[in-house]
Amino acid sequence: MSDTKTLHPETLAIRAGREHSGFGEHSQSLFLTSSFTFDTAADAAALFLGEREGYTYSRFTNPTVSAFQQRLAALEGGERAIATASGMAAIQAVMMSQLKSGDHIVSSQSLFGSTLNLFAGTLSKFGIETTFVDPKDSGAWRAALRPETKLLFLETPSNPLTEVADIAAVAAIAHEHGAILVVDNCFCSPALQRPLELGADLVVHSATKYLDGHGRVLGGAVVGSDALVEPVYLHVRTAGPSLSPFNAWVLLSGLETLYLRMEKQCANALQVARWLESRPEVERVFYPGLESHPQHALAQRQQSAGGAVLSFVVRGGREAAWRVVDRVEVISRTANLGDVKSTITHPASTTHARVSAEARERAGIGEGLLRLAVGLEHPDDLQLDLERGLGL
């Protein structure tokens, strides 16, 4: 596929990135092999020296993984992608390959919990410090810069409050300073948002979420220019947080329906969000697709739809929120998201339970807050389920 620039993303999600066995198979083969054989000793030497392209060992080269990488790179509009074993492995691979001891990160404070722990815990042990800022405040990003700041990091919309950060504005701040911007595009996927086009230098993914879309496998990826992805590739090659071919094969089929799923899941989320907003039992709804969202205009500019994750505050605190979680019969009680099955979670007692009550309060994660990741069920059924939860 040479003309990826002229094809629509819906087509690329199905057609980009193919590695054939030579038998003319129509679906992507699963190359479940740890290593590859060489024709001759000289052939082996050429492959290892990189003089000839080909497959050697699945820690860093496998045709099924390569097909997934090519497809995702096409969807994000990047030159190259490297797949990893999970989303966290992707973020870690970026940090290990782009930074060294003494470097400084400026990051959004509204991050996936394990990313916060990676920055504040693991990286700080190796002499890489992180300053956390309010992602909506351009002044705060700029004020946190130091001479040794090499990398800015954000996630948008954030979890669970769906705060939207201005990717183009933060990219400009990073570039003025000679730093790079890395965006975790997990919540939107390339179907809704393409951070590289907005100025980001690298995109990271938890493929575990919408790219798979069915809650089956873990996976991750880093996408960007050849120059920035090459060191990430070398890190994965050396350290081995590699994606398994089986998971890549599952993810390839997930990608085929990404655009269709996202379009419908976003429409379902908007319907449910509007309905929740109309209920007196609900104090507030956070969803970028609603006019009431404080950054609705920015979200409309930056994303092609509001996303499939929303959160809402029920009146009556933890007791009322837990009642909703306990009463739903269709929606799954689980902390995962990005699935065709809708899921509900009470962040204060699950994903954010280990954060102190004051820190939670500061982050706006109160006892009445619920996060709903809307799936592909009929939205009327989800609404009825929530009615049951709210005791209507």
Ligand X SMILES: *Cc1c(COP(=O)(O)O)cnc(C)c1O
Positions that interact with ligand X (CB under 6 A): 86-88, 112, 114-115, 155, 159, 184, 186-187, 206, 208-209, 218, 220
In the beta sheet, which residues pair with residue 344?
333, 372
Nearer of residues 4 and 265 to ligand X, judged by Cβ:
265
| Nearest Cα to Cα of residue 209 among 262, 280, 160, 165 | 262
Alpha carbon distances (Å) from 359 to 163, 355, 364:
17, 6, 9
Q: Which residue number is nearest to ligand X in terms of Cβ?
A: 87
Q: How far is the CB of 355 from ligand X (least distance, A)?
A: 16
Q: How far is the CB of 80 from ligand X (least distance, A)?
A: 20
Nearer of residues 184 and 339 to ligand X, judged by Cβ:
184
Please tell me what DSSP assigns to residue 376: S
Nearer of residues 282 and 369 to ligand X, judged by Cβ:
369
Nearer of residues 112 and 119 to ligand X, judged by Cβ:
112
The tokens of 170 are what? 């933060």
Alpha carbon distances (Å) from 197 to 24, 170, 206, 211, 392:
35, 13, 20, 19, 45
Please tell me what DSSP assigns to residue 20: -
CA distance 204 to 299: 19
Q: How far is the CB of 207 from ligand X (least distance, A)?
A: 7
Nearer of residues 290 and 337 to ligand X, judged by Cβ:
337
CA 332 distance to own-chain centroid: 21
Nearer of residues 103 and 184 to ligand X, judged by Cβ:
184
Q: How far is the CB of 342 from ligand X (least distance, A)?
A: 16
Nearer of residues 47 and 222 to ligand X, judged by Cβ:
222
For the chain, how many helices (H) and strands (E)?
15, 12
Q: How far is the CB of 209 from ligand X (least distance, A)?
A: 6
Q: How far is the CB of 382 from ligand X (least distance, A)?
A: 21
The tokens of 73 are what? 């790179």
Query: Could you tell me if 98 and 227 are in contact, meaning their C-beta atoms sit under 8 angstroms apart?
Result: no
Q: How far is the CB of 70 from ligand X (least distance, A)?
A: 20
Q: How far is the CB of 387 from ligand X (least distance, A)?
A: 28
CA 87 distance to own-chain centroid: 7
Alpha carbon distances (Å) from 176 to 78, 98, 141, 195:
22, 18, 12, 18
Nearer of residues 30 and 335 to ligand X, judged by Cβ:
335
| Nearest Cα to Cα of residue 368 among 324, 328, 337, 327 | 324
Position 29: which residue type? S
